[in-house]
Structure 1
């Protein structure tokens, strides 16, 4: 079972978006380089062809990013709910936030919260503004901790 710490949830919210933006910037730079080379050497059409290929790759990558945007927005909203939840659990149980880990990156009913060495199942209300913790016992005690 994989558990996630508060620092992992805070750091990895923007990581995928950053990587996608960097790839798009690289494609734009490659297109600009190929355009400059093509305008300098108009008889060599390979620069134009490379520019077209990079432009098509940019369009393809932008299309993938747009289709994933809604899914990522929803997931980031749910992940951003997890940060105050972990802080609230830590405050209620008088422990540090580093001692609280969860087995999901999204706040949903039924996730497992580990406080120190004790496991609890989260029962969320219908509105999602309050929760109860019920003592739980996991079958597989091997834990992978993502920090």
Structure 2
């Protein structure tokens, strides 16, 4: 079972976007190089063909980036709800927020919260403005903690 700390939720949200940005910049540079090579050697059409291939790959990665941006804005808004939730649970139980870990990056009904080696199941209200914690017992005690 994987649990996430508040530090993980604050810092690890944009790794996939970084890869897409690097790929897009790489393809733009390759298109520019192929364009220069094509204009320099107009009779060699392989530079034009490679430029077209790189342009199509650029369009593909831009499409991936747009899809990722839509997905991450939704996930980021849900993750931003999780951080105040962790702080509220820590305040209610008189512990530091670093001692509270959750098994989901989004705030949903039924997630597990671990507070100092005790597990609780979260029951959210319909509006999501209050919660109750009920003691839970996990079957698998192997925990992968994402810091």
Classify the TM-score, shorter chain: over 0.9
Matched residue, 1:25: 25
Check if 1:61 corresponds to 2:61: yes
Matched residue, 1:117: 117
Q: Deviations over 1:12-62 (max 9, x none)?
A: 122222222221111111111111111112122111111110000111122
Question: Which consecutive unaligned segments of at least 5 residues does structure 2 have?
Answer: none
The TM-score normalised by the length of structure 1 is: 0.93
Question: Which consecutive unaligned segments of at least 5 residues does structure 1 have?
Answer: none
Partner of 1:71, secondary structure, is helix
Q: Deviations over 1:87-140 (max 9, x none)?
A: 111122121221111001110000000011000111111111111111111111
Q: Which moved more, 1:56-65 or 1:131-140?
A: 56-65
Q: Measure how far apart 1:65 and its partner are.
A: 2.7
Contact 1:5 1:102 in 2 (8 A): yes
The TM-score normalised by the length of structure 2 is: 0.93
Aligned-residue RMSD, C-alpha: 1.3
Contact 2:34 2:51 in 1 (8 A): yes
The aligned length equals: 147
Q: Measure how far apart 1:74 and its partner are.
A: 1.4
Q: Which moved more, 1:104-113 or 1:7-16?
A: 7-16
In 2, Cα distance between the equivalents of 1:101 and 1:63?
35
- Within a 5 Å distance, the mapping from 1:1-147 to structure 2 comes to 1-147=1-147
Contact 1:104 1:111 in 2 (8 A): yes
